[in-house]
């Protein structure tokens, strides 16, 4: 008995000495727990989102009424790139007119949607900042444990940066919200998630995001759900795709590999003639770093190349057969291959600027080619998005443009888009401004287009609609729209000049 007492006393003394010599005790601050430190670290990367939109009946009204009602909303976002790119839930920004983003320090910015995925309920918005933002440390959802301590930070009921704590209650939950929205493989937590928390982070005690808060169980107490961060990051990578946003594909098919001990991006396939192949990347390589950004997954790869000028050369560090190598990657070079990575999933991604409902294009009413547009812009009606039909891939849409118009098209880079949108052009009824277009990379030699269109021109508008991207083009060239049409008016921008107008014959 005395031996047992001696051993117990010795253990107690050791524990007491350990506590007395811990940093927190030495500083006289036992209150600063790991959870407190994690909150202090992560909250700089959490933003509050406030939205406004007109009431549905006001939007459908023909004339503006000074008594139009505004509907306000709220949500939360997570900084994923220091240049102001933020991820949130799509339902937070769906159909809104105004997005206001407030940072931890209280500074507010106007936000604009970049891209979104309705099915997976995620969206990217961007704010214009003058100083780099703090990027949220990314954890992994691959090693989550039941009863593990987690906490949520968000704009709960409009109370900014509210912190709630709880545990992981369950994993792999499938939840159906209504007939149009369901989720798979969610994390269930009893950390209080309230209206306004949507789009915010669920974090572990290390301050790493392990989920994106998305839903609560109506009428229940402390039953909330979050999208696992590993699933979310795969969707975010598609939302940040440089091929979609910049028109500068890298030509890589990759896989995120994540566990408790490692996070890495493995190359599965390199498209022939692509920028990646020209760089020297091979299947099986592990991409470690691009222009100083550590690459943990596909999201990091896309954001490392996002908004880089064509022709810019960046350092790319990879690991091949256990040895590290540094290659030179040139942005925007090589062919624009159609790669097979997640084709169906990519079709769920929408680039926000491509279906902007206020987009405008000059109305056309002339009979000859190569004449400047003569009228003010008209409002464009984009295809309804509430009940999506079978969605063509971007490659299928571009192939249809080639067959019907004799034009091979691709998206503009940010630099090229800026050249088009940064100025106004003369019109009969006043200045005309364009919102973007599609670059013409090839013209069919035996087509009518070949008489006045050149490679390198930008297709600004077609059949009275703006051609900002594949979504617009898909709507314009839908079979039920053009089945009786034999020609279409178009607007073309040629570098350094004013827009030209012509007529394209449709090939059958």
pLDDT digits (tens, 9 = 90+) for 209-230: 999 999 888 777 889 999 999 9
Asked whether 201 and 153 are in contact (CB, 8 A), the reply is yes
Express each pLDDT in 260-281 by its tens digit.
899 999 999 999 999 999 999 9
How much is the pLDDT for 386?
Answer: 36
367, pLDDT greater than 50: no
In this prediction, residue 370 has a pLDDT band, given cuts at 50, 70 and 90, of very low
Is-catalytic flag, 68? no
CA torsion sign for 53, 56, 59, 64 is: negative
Q: What mean pLDDT comes out for the span 444-450?
A: 86
Q: What mean pLDDT comes out for the span 90-115?
A: 94
384, pLDDT greater than 70: no
474 closest CA partner among 406, 384, 386: 384
CA distance 430 to 93: 33
What string of DSSP letters covers 152-183?
Answer: EEEEETTEEEEEEEEEEEEEEEEEE-SSS-EE
Q: Among 42, 198, 241, 274, which one carries the catalytic annotation?
A: 198
Express each pLDDT in 303-328 by its tens digit.
999 999 888 899 999 999 999 999 99
Residue 325 φ/ψ, nearest 5 degrees: -135, 150
Collapsed DSSP state (helix, strand, coil) of residue 261? coil
Q: Among 81, 121, 230, 457, which one carries the catalytic annotation?
A: 121
Q: Among 42, 50, 91, 141, which one carries the catalytic annotation?
A: 91
Q: Which residues are paired to 500 by β-bridges?
A: 492
CA distance 267 to 154: 36
Neighbour-count burial for 420-445, b at 16+ CB within 10 Å, e otherwise: beeeebebeeeebebbbbbbbeebbe
What string of DSSP letters covers 425-471?
Answer: B--TTS-B-----EEEEEE-TTSGGGGT--TT-EEEEETTEE--SHH
CA distance 175 to 185: 8
Q: Higher pLDDT residue, 42 or 433? A: 42
In this prediction, residue 365 has a pLDDT band, given cuts at 50, 70 and 90, of very low
In this prediction, residue 382 has a pLDDT band, given cuts at 50, 70 and 90, of very low
Other CB atoms within 10 A of residue 64 CB: 9
Task: Give the Cα-Cα-Cα angle 54, 60, 63 (nearest 5 degrees).
Answer: 90
CA distance 116 to 77: 14
Is-catalytic flag, 121? yes
398, pLDDT greater than 60: yes
No. of H helices and E strands in the chain?
A: 14, 27
CA distance 98 to 43: 24
What predicted TM-score, i.e. pTM, was given to this entire model? 0.65
182, pLDDT greater than 80: yes
444, pLDDT greater than 80: yes
How much is the pLDDT for 472?
Answer: 81
How much is the pLDDT for 430?
Answer: 62
Structural domains in the chain plus CATH codes: 40-127 (2.40.10.10), 240-330 (2.30.42.10), 356-505 (2.30.42.10)
10 φψ region: left (φ > 0), alpha (ψ -120 to 50), beta (else): alpha
In terms of average pLDDT, the best of 163-167, 243-247, 421-425, 469-473 is: 163-167
How much is the pLDDT for 344?
Answer: 43
> Beta 487-493 vs 500-505: how paired, if at all?
antiparallel
Question: How much is the mean pLDDT over the chain?
Answer: 82
CA distance 69 to 62: 15
Q: Which residues are paired to 224 by β-bridges?
A: 189, 216
147, pLDDT greater than 70: yes
Q: Higher pLDDT residue, 374 or 339? A: 339
In this prediction, residue 148 has a pLDDT band, given cuts at 50, 70 and 90, of very high
4, pLDDT greater than 60: no
CA atoms within 13 A on the CB side of 232: 31
In terms of average pLDDT, the best of 120-134, 174-188, 365-379 is: 120-134
How much is the pLDDT for 56?
Answer: 58
Provide, rounded to the nearest whole percent, the portion of the chain with pLDDT above 70.
81
How much is the pLDDT for 381?
Answer: 35
CA atoms within 13 A on the CB side of 291: 15
How much is the pLDDT for 447?
Answer: 85
How much is the pLDDT for 281?
Answer: 97
156 closest CA partner among 216, 206, 208: 216
Q: What mean pLDDT comes out for the span 380-409?
A: 68
């Amino acid at each position: 008995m005395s031996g047992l007492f001696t051993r117990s006393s010795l253990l107690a003394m050791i524990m007491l000495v350990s506590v007395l010599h811990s940093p927190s005790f030495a500083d006289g601050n036992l209150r600063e727990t790991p959870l407190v430190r994690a909150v202090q670290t992560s909250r700089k990367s959490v933003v509050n989102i406030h939205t406004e939109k007109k009431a549905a009946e006001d939007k459908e009204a023909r004339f503006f009424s000074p008594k139009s009602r505004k509907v306000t909303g709220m949500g939360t976002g997570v900084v994923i790139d220091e240049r102001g790119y933020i991820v949130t839930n799509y339902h937070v920004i769906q159909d809104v007119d105004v997005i206001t983003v407030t940072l931890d320090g209280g500074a507010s910015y106007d936000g604009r949607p970049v891209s979104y995925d309705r099915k997976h309920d995620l969206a990217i918005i961007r704010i214009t900042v003058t100083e780099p933002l703090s990027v949220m440390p990314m954890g992994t959802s691959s090693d989550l444990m039941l009863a593990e301590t987690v906490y949520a930070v968000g704009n709960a009921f409009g109370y900014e940066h509210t912190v709630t704590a709880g545990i992981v209650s369950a994993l792999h939950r499938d939840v159906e919200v209504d007939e149009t929205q369901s989720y798979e493989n969610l994390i269930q937590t009893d950390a209080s998630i309230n209206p306004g928390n949507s789009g915010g982070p669920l974090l572990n005690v290390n301050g790493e995001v392990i989920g994106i808060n998305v839903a609560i169980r109506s009428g229940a107490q402390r039953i909330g759900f979050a999208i696992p961060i590993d699933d979310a990051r795969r969707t975010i990578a598609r939302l940040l795709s440089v091929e979609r946003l910049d028109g500068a594909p890298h030509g890589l098919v990759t896989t995120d590999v994540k566990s408790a001990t490692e996070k890495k991006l493995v190359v599965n396939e390199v498209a022939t003639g692509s920028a990646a192949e020209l760089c020297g990347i091979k299947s099986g390589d592990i991409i470690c770093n691009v222009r100083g950004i550590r690459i943990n997954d596909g999201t990091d790869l896309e954001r490392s190349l996002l908004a880089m000028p064509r022709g810019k050369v960046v350092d790319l560090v990879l690991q091949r057969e256990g040895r590290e190598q540094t290659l030179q990657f040139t942005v925007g070079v090589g062919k624009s291959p159609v790669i097979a990575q997640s084709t169906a999933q990519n079709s769920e991604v929408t680039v926000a600027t491509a279906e902007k409902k206020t987009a405008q294009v000059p109305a056309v009413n002339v009979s000859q080619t190569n004449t400047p547009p003569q009228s003010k812009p008209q409002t464009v009606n984009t295809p309804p998005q509430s009940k999506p039909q079978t969605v063509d891939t971007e490659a299928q849409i571009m192939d249809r443009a080639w067959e019907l118009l004799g034009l091979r098209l691709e998206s503009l880079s940010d630099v090229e888009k800026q050249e088009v949108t940064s100025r106004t052009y003369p019109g009969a009824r006043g200045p005309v401004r364009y919102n973007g277009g599609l670059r013409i990379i090839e013209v069919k030699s035996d087509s009518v287009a070949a008489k006045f269109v050149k490679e390198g021109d930008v297709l600004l508008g077609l059949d009275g609609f703006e051609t900002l991207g594949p979504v617009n083009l898909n709507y314009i060239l839908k079979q039920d729209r053009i089945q009786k049409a034999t020609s279409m008016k178009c607007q073309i921008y040629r570098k350094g000049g004013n827009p030209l107008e012509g007529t394209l014959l449709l090939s059958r």
